[in-house]
Amino acid sequence: MCASVLLALQACTDRSVVEVFVASITLSPVSVTLVVGEEVDLVATVVDETEQELNAVPLTWTSSAPSIAEVDGDGLVRGRSEGTARIEADFGGATGAATVRVVPGPGIELSQSQAEMFAGAGGTPPPSQIVHVTNIGTGALTGLHVDVEYPSEEVHWLEAEISGTSVPTTVVLSADTEGLDVGVRTATVMISSSMPDVPAVELPVTLELTGFSVLESGGSTVVAEAGTTDTLSVVLDSEPDTDVILTVMGGDAGEAVASPSTLTFTRDDWSVAQAVTVRGIDDFTDDGDQVTTLTIAVVAEASDDHFDGIPPHAVDVTTTDDDEAPGLVITETEDTEVGEDGSTDSFTVALTTRPGTDVLLTVTSGDPGEAAVTPSTLTFTTNNW
């Protein structure tokens, strides 16, 4: 189908109008790919039924998807968003068309949308995390750099180090937990490019320091060899995702023992303190007051992984001594008397404190002509002292 157009022709003093029929319209390029924001001029070639090229034909330009690619009245196309659009130039019933594919420009893409770090307060820092940076769009992506932003003027605990300024590259996240108390801290890592029209990407980072507290009644733990007791209170400082099991271990069971030997905290009772009772043990040895260490630690293989890095708590337990200085206890049945007719009497001998090794005593008579004693030696051990 041909469409006609009136052309004005002028030669010397004569001016005439000629009706010409448009046979076809061809656009060039017929197919093109644009990055978002880029532009291209489409050139329309209009010919008549004799295949003569016509100029100044008033074409109507349209786009099938202006939100993807828009076109003005002169055939200038601009990519607006990812997708494909059909651009047409029309005159009457004649139409020329071109396909425009719009692809995203360079864009920063991260291998993860957030980073979570966990450690025990006072323990070793959490492992470093590696975030991979790639190009979500097309074309070169260079000029990359990172910054760390904090929600307030808190301690700057996060370090973000980028390995290269063009993709692909990585960002290494490291936390410095020295001096930080139990709690949750946040920061934002900004990865941006010096290239225009490349939006920065935010990576939220959370650091959670876990722990548990041990409270000694009266500020210290003291028991006596007579069997007196003292108590400790143990509680988690933050809510766990799964159970947390603590083990209670005594340094010297001959001086003091603690019970129970394990404590289990759940999501429901993590904030309720649990008691540990410490009881003194009599060692029957005059060794003075003794200080032993009670250790409370997380059972890592059976507990919430977020609590594995908590260092053990050490509690000094003083056991006061109640034993006498080393000596002998001699017990007579009234007075010790014997007759020359060979009658006998007896007395007992014991140690006042448990010995560390065997104790050998000799028994002798002051006058063998008057009285004899038997046995002549006594041996005391740690069991029969």
Look up the CATH number of the domain holding residue 167: 2.60.40.10
* Predicted pLDDT at 12: 47
**Token pair for residue 173?**
């996240």
pLDDT of residue 185 exceeding 50, the answer is: yes
- Residue 97: enclosing H or E segment and its boundaries? strand 94-103
Band of the pLDDT at 154, cuts 50, 70, 90? confident
Q: Is 75 in the same domain as 121?
A: no
CB 89 within 8 A of CB 61: yes
Q: Is 300 in the same domain as 244?
A: yes
Q: How many CB atoms lie within 10 A of CB 383?
A: 6
Q: Is 293 in the same domain as 219?
A: yes
pLDDT of residue 134 exceeding 70, the answer is: yes
Question: Is residue 15 one of the residues assigned to a domain?
Answer: no
Residue type, 294: L
Q: How far apart are CA 181 and CA 184, in angstroms?
A: 9
Q: How far apart are CA 161 and CA 170, in angstroms?
A: 8
- In order of 1, 59, 197, the CA distances from 22 in angstroms are 9, 11, 42
Q: Is 116 in the same domain as 90?
A: no
Q: How far apart are CA 61 and CA 45, in angstroms?
A: 13
Angle CA 7–12–14, to nearest 5: 55
* Predicted pLDDT at 10: 43
Q: Which residues of 145-174 are buried (b: 16+ CB within 10 A; e: fewer)?
A: ebebeeeeeeeebbebebeeeebebebebe
**Token pair for residue 117?**
């770090």
Instruction: Give the pLDDT mean for 352-369.
Output: 83
CA neighbor of 106 nearest in space, from 177, 179, 206, 35:
35
Q: Is 286 in the same domain as 337?
A: no
CB 146 within 8 A of CB 191: yes
Last residue of a domain, one of 52, 80, 103: 103
In 136-268 the beta strands, taken as DSSP E runs, fall at 144-149, 158-162, 169-175, 183-193, 201-210, 212-216, 221-224, 229-236, 244-250, 256-259, 262-265
Last residue of a domain, one of 146, 181, 210: 210
Question: Is residue 163 one of the residues assigned to a domain?
Answer: yes
Q: How far apart are CA 94 and CA 326, in angstroms?
A: 123
| Percent of the chain clearing pLDDT 90 (strictly above) | 65
Per-residue pLDDT of 276-327, as tens digits, reads 999 998 776 666 778 999 999 999 999 999 999 899 999 999 998 766 567 7
Question: Is residue 280 one of the residues assigned to a domain?
Answer: yes
**Token pair for residue 298?**
């997380």
pLDDT of residue 162 exceeding 70, the answer is: yes
pLDDT of residue 15 exceeding 80, the answer is: no
Q: What's the chain's average pLDDT? A: 89
Question: Is residue 3 one of the residues assigned to a domain?
Answer: no
Per-residue pLDDT of 226-272, as tens digits, reads 889 999 999 999 999 999 999 999 878 888 999 999 999 999 999 99
Question: Is residue 190 one of the residues assigned to a domain?
Answer: yes
Q: Is 87 in the same domain as 114?
A: no
**Token pair for residue 121?**
């307060």
CB 246 within 8 A of CB 257: no
* Predicted pLDDT at 383: 86
| Percent of the chain clearing pLDDT 70 (strictly above) | 92
Q: Annotate 278-302 with DSSP letters as a single string.
A: EEE----S----EEEEEEEEE-GGG
Q: How many CB atoms lie within 10 A of CB 12?
A: 5
Q: Is 96 in the same domain as 51?
A: yes
**Token pair for residue 236?**
């988690």
Output the domain CATH number for residue 74.
Answer: 2.60.40.1080
Q: Is 291 in the same domain as 205?
A: no
Question: Is residue 314 one of the residues assigned to a domain?
Answer: yes
Last residue of a domain, one of 320, 344, 372: 320
Q: Is 316 in the same domain as 334?
A: no
**Token pair for residue 126?**
């959490």
Q: Is 347 in the same domain as 255?
A: no
Question: Is residue 48 one of the residues assigned to a domain?
Answer: yes
Signed CA dihedral, 265, 268, 270, 271: sign only: negative
Instruction: State the burial class of residue 6 (Cβ atoms within 10 Å of its Cβ: 0-12, 13-18, 19+).
Output: exposed
Per-residue pLDDT of 47-69, as tens digits, reads 998 889 998 899 999 999 999 99
What strand order describes the sheet that includes 169-175?
108-110, 129-135, 169-175, 158-162
Q: Is 137 in the same domain as 163?
A: yes
Instruction: Give the pLDDT mean for 85-106.
Output: 95
Q: Identify the domain containing residue 38 by its residue range.
A: 22-103
For the chain, what is the domain count?
Answer: 4
Q: Is 221 in the same domain as 127?
A: no
Higher pLDDT, 336 or 120: 120
* Predicted pLDDT at 384: 86
Band of the pLDDT at 9, cuts 50, 70, 90? very low
Question: Is residue 9 one of the residues assigned to a domain?
Answer: no
